[in-house]
Amino acid sequence: MRLKLLAVAVLMLALLPGTAHAAPFDVETATRAYLDTLQGAARAKSNAYFEGGYWLVLWGTLVSVLADGLLLRFGLSVRFRALGERLFKRPAGVTWITALCYTVAGTILTLPWSIYTGFVREKQYDLMNQSLSDWLIDQGKDVGINLLIVPLIVMAVYAVIRRFPKNWWVMAAGVITGFLAFGMLIGPVFISPLFNTYTELPGGPIRDRVVAMAKAKNIPSEHIYLFDASKQSKRISANVSGIGPTIRISLNDNLLNRSTPQEIAGVMGHEMGHYVLNHVWWSLAFLSALAALAMFLVSRIGPALIARYGARWGGIRDIADPASMPVLGILIALFFMLATPLTNTMIRVDESQADAFGLDVAQEPDGFASVAMKLSEYRKIEPSALEEMLFFDHPSGATRVRMSMQWKKDHVPNAQMVVPSPMPQAELTPQ
């Protein structure tokens, strides 16, 4: 009898007004709560910016092909080679001059497109903080770096073509791999500081949290860098860069100033995932394989095109002639455009693995979900599955939020759904 009375009492207590009922945590409901914070003009702007990028891949390739086509049509690459032959006796010197002129000409011909995509469009979508003059200064630095490095790469590739005329593509792929590794080694130390100032992340709760996360996974944490990306754009970002002794984890000041401690922890945990999972080395291996395939195709298609059209292009002799650079440029541009889904998938898989690692180390599922929503300023939040596979080099915001909420359900006892604040409309409304 006492048991029956106790049961009735419990039932009546549960039915009293105002009594809390803890509903099971639902991943889809929690995910939708975050996704619905981006609505109206803000979502339309985000979608328009990112979807426009799909076309930029195509139009950018066509611009590159057109520039190389003009160099061939007017015989300019042959004139560049002739200039090299007047100045140098050795093939290496001829190739160096030809590559230098080719790089300058290509930069000039594609400059209007670069201004539109790199400055005008970014300004249109309120993502750019630089003036045109400041942006052009950065572009000048980039051109200067290209004028130093590109001719060296071209010299090495053409030296291989001359030395190994039958199977040069194998050695050329090795040359490209070597330059990729060298660039990744020196980039963080010597190149990145030309564009931004890198300093140690200041001491305090944020650094203490990041260092604790790093130590928990046996990650070197003596140097965690902060760089001033806000002088260029409004994008929040962090990265892991370098190889070997130059590997470093960096975050930009936009992330530090626009994000909560929980969001920063989620992002930095993600970046630590890249380090622990050796994504830099996997990326180098993948890009090297892709370069080998590209060189193989060029070695088969390039000579046939030159044999048929070389005379019409001003007198290109063969594939070993440095005047053939625009031919190689066209073929490589088309190859990497067609390979975009492959490169996107490789990067996206790495990013997804780093997301999972970051959730484990930071244990901030809501922080990571909310920062994924902030990335919607320049990434479409809810693409179709096919769209995400073809065009996204990172998991979409919806994928990341859903992963975060699934992690929360699986790892947080008595998980409760958070009601996130709406995304700020003023920042995202088109100008």
Residue 405 has pLDDT above 70, yes or no: yes
Do residues 395 and 403 make contact, with C-beta atoms less than 8 angstroms apart? yes
Distance, CA of 170 to CA of 292 (rounded, Å): 6
CB burial of 139-172 (b: ≥16 within 10 Å; e: otherwise) equals beebbebeeeebbebbbbbbbbbeeeeeebbebb
pLDDT grade, residue 424 (50/70/90)?
Answer: low
| Domain limits, the chain | 45-195+298-335
Reported as a single tens digit per residue, the pLDDT across 12-53 is: 333 344 433 456 899 999 999 999 999 999 999 999 999 999
Q: What is the mean pLDDT of the chain?
A: 91
In this structure, are strands 248-252 and 224-227 parallel, antiparallel, or unpaired?
Answer: parallel
Predicted local distance difference test score (pLDDT) of residue 418: 86
Confidence (pLDDT) at 4 = 42
pLDDT number for residue 218: 86
pLDDT tens, 80-127? 999 999 999 999 999 999 999 999 999 999 999 999 999 999 999 999
Average pLDDT (68-73) is 98
pTM comes to 0.88
**pLDDT score of 311 more than 80:** yes
Q: Where are the alpha helices (DSSP H) in 310-339?
A: 325-338
Residue 151 has pLDDT above 70, yes or no: yes
7, pLDDT greater than 90: no
Count the neighbouring beta carbons within 10 Å of the beta carbon of residue 126: 18
pLDDT given for residue 31 in this prediction: 96
Angle between helices 279-309 and 340-362 (to 10 degrees): 170
Using the 8-state DSSP alphabet, how is residue 352 labeled?
A: H
Q: How far is the C-alpha of 109 from the C-alpha of 64, rounded, in Å?
A: 9
Count Cα atoms within 13 angstroms, Cβ side, for 374.
Answer: 21
Residue range 225-256, pLDDT digits in tens? 999 999 999 999 998 888 878 888 899 999 99
When pLDDT is averaged across residues 272-281 and rounded to a whole number, the result is 92
For 316-344, write each residue's pLDDT tens digit. 999 999 999 999 999 999 999 999 999 99
pLDDT above 70: residue 398: yes
pLDDT of residue 164: 95
Q: What integer is the mean pLDDT of 261-288?
A: 94
Q: DSSP string covering 126-160, please?
A: T-B-S-HHHHHHHHHHHHHHHHHHHHHHHHHHHHH
